[in-house]
Structure 1
Amino acid sequence: MSMFNWQMVDPGPGQPVAPNQRLPWGKTIGIGAQHVVAMFGATFVFPLVMGLDPNLAILFSGICTILFLLVTQNKVPSYLGTSASFVAGVAAIRAQGGDSADVTGSILVCGLVLAAVGVLVHFSGTGAIHKVLPPAVTGAVVMLIGFNLAPVVANIYWPQDQWVALLTATFLVFAATLLPGFWSRIAVFLALIFGYLVSWLFDAVFGQIHSITGSSNGKEIDHDRISWAGVKAADWVGLPSGTLSDGVSVVHSPSFSLTFILLVLPGVIALIAENTGHVKAVAEMTGDDLDPYMGRAIGADGVATALASAFGGSPTTTYAENIGVMGATRVYSTAAYYVAAAVAILLGLCPKFGQVVSATPGGVLGGITVILYGMIGLVGAKIWVENGVDFGDPVNLVGLSAGIIAGIGGVTLQITDDFELSGIALGTILVIVYFHIVNRGHRRPDHHVGADDVTKVL
């Protein structure tokens, strides 16, 4: 039977719809539209903060979602939106003078590495990954990726408009925690709209602001919070085009540098954790055994990331926001994801729409990223808690500590005149190496580290 022959059902409210089933096409289109709204906020925010084109990002999110569904044979309902796992590495690349071609080239290599991991998992199972990357290590790497981004918020986005940033962050906090059901799942999208409206109101009431902008290289200038000159000039229909803020074409060929590749390579660990968790979550919701498709899911995300980066697009990952939509609707039909992908592709082919997103005020991004980046870091702690990582065990406490501080603090190890390891790359290496070194030694499971032990270490 073709995997595109969905069984048409129309159950009552609250009744599940399986991946190989679909609602009538009218309702399926409605569910697909919900998936687009759910992924929208984060999928557009992260290309903006990485300095890449949001229109190209949403275009490839649709293409890559279709690719993912095909590789997983329509067994794993998922939307591939823009990944946040590479944001810190991208910031480090740009801080060292790299441009957008260096960014996409480094991410492309990471995508190929992830695809290779997927092939390994498909043929040998997940045991090797769990052995090399146990929850203690994975949580530490995810944590240092998120918290490494704190200076980006403090130095780039927040100073552009601190009051809009504060109001937007406050709105996002309340929207994500107090709004019911589906609305809380699209809190980032609602915060974008809210921040836009506040910025427009401030422009009307207070006039121009004197601050830095994303293109003023830290120099304070007078400027409107919102400028739609690009929106007016853009076409309604067309392929993504133009140049990015660093002068690189929106659609461009990637460049490759070992130094820059090492800066973003830790993001692969986060993507492995994200995809594994996604497949397990979907399996629990649908009641299907999806372990045989774990390798396919990881590999498909890797190929999708490499494909998007090859044209200058953003990296991809499976989206928790869309799991939220499935949880709220109990509709797991992959047909709805094909609809969502088609809508995303259409939006990606509307340059005017992309310019609206690109005009997002810096203060709005400051308010959103101050929360999103913190959430990325705390996901690492969530991995520890959910897997019962015991920090009374010195293997965990001591084995992970140096890597976390080196990664978050931006410690640098100069190896040659032209090559160094720093920040996330160095932190990840230290986390993995130190953890496994002490883990292979003599362990004392009954020994718990207290204040006296820390004093002895010092």
Structure 2
Amino acid sequence: MDELIGTEGRLPFKRWVSLSFQHLFSMLGGLVVAPLIIGINPSATMFCSGAGTLFYLFITKKKMPIFLCTSFAYTAPLLIVREKYGVEGMMFGVLTAGLMYVLLSLLVRLCGTGWIRRLMPPVVTASVMIVIGLSSALTAVGWAGYNASSGAAAALEPSMRLKWIAVSTITLLVGILGTTCFRGIFSVIPVMLALIAGYVASLVLGVVSPSAIAEAISGPVLALPKFCLPRANMEAAFMTAPLALVTVGEHIADVTAAGNVCRRDFIHDPGLHRSLFGDGVASVIAAFFGGAPVTTYSENIGIMALTKVCSVSVVFLAACIAIVISFFAPVNAVITGIPTPVLGGISILLFGIIAITGIRIYMDAHIDFSSNRNAVIALCVIVLGLGGASISFHTGGLYFEMPSIAVATFTGIFLNLLLPGDRNQPKPV
């Protein structure tokens, strides 16, 4: 068995660089697919992930080898926010999510983590995750071309729609095989493999032409990412703030898992509050540069478990490489040129994984649905979330709207606090 290289370990130059690229490849889903789904510039997101990770490493005293990347839990809500309020309004939502993390870090520092468990027990968190995963199912299916009356596929000729279906199906199948059958390094880069397969299929079937790619990469080699600033929008803030309560559970789980892999107790040293604070600062940075909100990424932890290398220096170099790559215009051109059916095939898989994550939370927490309390909380969250329930009103010159995901989240929190019974995670049976 290979000896574990700890957080302070140093590697030979070639292996150091190689492992840094492996971390980047494993996170292509968050670095490339997530921003394309949301509708923001991938280069800006890559820059923000790299810069945010550097700040995170500094805030956590260079003790936690964790790379920050866009969480897919944010994609569906941010897609709605962008459609309603534009990219600048969405960036204000990203800013709000970051500030929520900063606030949560202060509360954890003062009060511990017990209150998070009481506010968002597994039955609430899992139900919201299911809503987040399935709320964009129609969008993903439309991008894939499977629904002729939905999305971009509605305007296609029948022959081209069949090509879209072929491309999205190939992309989806490769992603499924990568997730379930591949071993070793290939098991942690299924998104990258699916993107490559989908891109090749698009070229072969004529969904995208080689000349279009050649034209896209024929410009200058270096260019600034398309940065943008947030514009104050309280409706966007209300739509994104609840997501911080959902993803903080994901954050805690990833920090715990990383500690297990590295054989360190990161919850206490350097402390969960530092990790949350670093995550919040990174998301605030993203908001002012046109990136997506970031959080811990399980694929990063998977690479460490696979290679038995937990060196912070590897993550540091990966962050620096991400920043450098973000300034290469041809790379951005190829990424932004990823065909819609490729995104559709990937999105079906990724949105489904988010929903299944919610079901796994039910199972891991031994949620007892013979309890009417648990059943009522779950059904209200899921039905309101997927049914499109929203609250809106005008007061003076202000228009306020709370979208279905926020309504579902607050409903779950309210019912959990209101209904009698055990508000905490049930004990295993």
For normalisation by structure 2, the TM-score amounts to: 0.89
Q: What SS class does the counterpart of residue 81 from structure 1 fall into?
A: strand
CA RMSD of aligned residues (A): 2.3
Task: Decide which of 91, 112, 123 is 2:110's aligned counterpart.
Answer: 123
Q: What is the aligned partner in structure 1 of residue 128 from structure 2? A: 141
Q: What is the aligned partner in structure 1 of residue 391 from structure 2? A: 413
The residue identity in structure 2 corresponding to 1:380 is G
Cα displacement (A) at 1:106: 1.0
Q: What SS class does the counterpart of residue 99 from structure 1 fall into?
A: helix
The residue identity in structure 1 corresponding to 2:55 is L
The residue identity in structure 1 corresponding to 2:418 is I
Whether 1:282 aligns to 2:258 is yes
Cα displacement (A) at 1:256: 2.2
Task: Decide which of 27, 30, 38 is 1:50's aligned counterpart.
Answer: 38
Whether 1:85 aligns to 2:88 is no
> Which deviates more, 150-159 or 334-343?
150-159
Whether 1:132 aligns to 2:119 is yes
Distance (whole Å) between structure 2 residues aligned to residue 265 and residue 237 of structure 1: 36
Task: Decide which of 318, 322, 335 is 1:344's aligned counterpart.
Answer: 322
Gap change, CA 1:225 and 1:47, over 3 Å in 2: farther
Task: Decide which of 222, 247, 257 is 1:237's aligned counterpart.
Answer: 222
Is contact 1:305-1:314 (8 Å) kept? yes
For normalisation by structure 1, the TM-score amounts to: 0.84
Distance (whole Å) between structure 2 residues aligned to residue 295 and residue 138 of structure 1: 20
Task: Decide which of 421, 434, 441 is 2:415's aligned counterpart.
Answer: 434
The residue identity in structure 1 corresponding to 2:99 is L
Deviation string 1:373-405 (CA, Å, 9 cap, x unpaired) is 111111111122112222122221112211211
> Which deviates more, 82-91 or 340-349?
82-91
Is contact 2:143-2:343 (8 Å) kept? no
Cα displacement (A) at 1:173: 0.5
Whether 1:108 aligns to 2:95 is yes
Deviation string 1:145-186 (CA, Å, 9 cap, x unpaired) is 111111221334535422211111111111211111210110
Gap change, CA 1:226 and 1:179, over 3 Å in 2: farther
Gap change, CA 1:427 and 1:225, over 3 Å in 2: farther
The residue identity in structure 1 corresponding to 2:383 is I
Q: What is the aligned partner in structure 2 of residue 374 from structure 1? A: 352
After the TM superposition, which residues 14-413 of structure 1 pair with which residues of structure 2 at under 5 Å, given as runs?
14-95=2-83, 97-158=84-145, 160=153, 161-203=164-206, 227-228=212-213, 231-240=216-225, 250-292=226-268, 293-413=271-391
Distance (whole Å) between structure 1 residues aligned to residue 82 and residue 52 of structure 2: 26
Gap change, CA 1:329 and 1:56, over 3 Å in 2: same
Q: What is the aligned partner in structure 1 of residue 159 from structure 2? A: none
The residue identity in structure 2 corresponding to 1:235 is P
Deviation string 1:187-207 (CA, Å, 9 cap, x unpaired) is 00010000000000001xxxx
The residue identity in structure 2 corresponding to 1:38 is S
Distance (whole Å) between structure 1 residues aligned to residue 211 and residue 272 of structure 2: 44
Is contact 2:97-2:293 (8 Å) kept? no
Is contact 1:19-1:76 (8 Å) kept? yes
Is contact 1:106-1:255 (8 Å) kept? no
Distance (whole Å) between structure 2 residues aligned to residue 341 and residue 228 of structure 1: 27
Q: What SS class does the counterpart of residue 74 from structure 1 fall into?
A: coil
Distance (whole Å) between structure 1 residues aligned to residue 339 and residue 423 of structure 2: 55
Cα displacement (A) at 1:270: 2.8
- Runs of 4 or more above 6 Å deviation: none
Larger Rg, first or second structure (1 or 2): 1
The residue identity in structure 2 corresponding to 1:237 is L
Greater helix content: 2
Deviation string 1:203-241 (CA, Å, 9 cap, x unpaired) is 1xxxxx6xxxxxxxxxxxxx859832662343212321x
The residue identity in structure 2 corresponding to 1:108 is L
> Which deviates more, 423-432 or 149-158?
149-158
The residue identity in structure 2 corresponding to 1:123 is L
Deviation string 1:105-155 (CA, Å, 9 cap, x unpaired) is 111111111111012212321112112111221111222111111122133
Distance (whole Å) between structure 1 residues aligned to residue 423 and residue 166 of structure 2: 54
Cα displacement (A) at 1:441: 8.9
Cα displacement (A) at 1:413: 2.9
Gap change, CA 1:225 and 1:260, over 3 Å in 2: farther
The residue identity in structure 2 corresponding to 1:319 is Y
Gap change, CA 1:441 and 1:374, over 3 Å in 2: closer
Gap change, CA 1:25 and 1:197, over 3 Å in 2: same
Q: What SS class does the counterpart of residue 290 from structure 2 fall into?
A: coil
Deviation string 1:10-55 (CA, Å, 9 cap, x unpaired) is xxx6210111222233322221121111112332000001110001
Distance (whole Å) between structure 2 residues aligned to residue 371 and residue 275 of structure 1: 22
Cα displacement (A) at 1:436: 1.6
Is contact 1:234-1:355 (8 Å) kept? no
Cα displacement (A) at 1:260: 1.9
The residue identity in structure 1 corresponding to 2:199 is Y
Is contact 1:226-1:361 (8 Å) kept? no
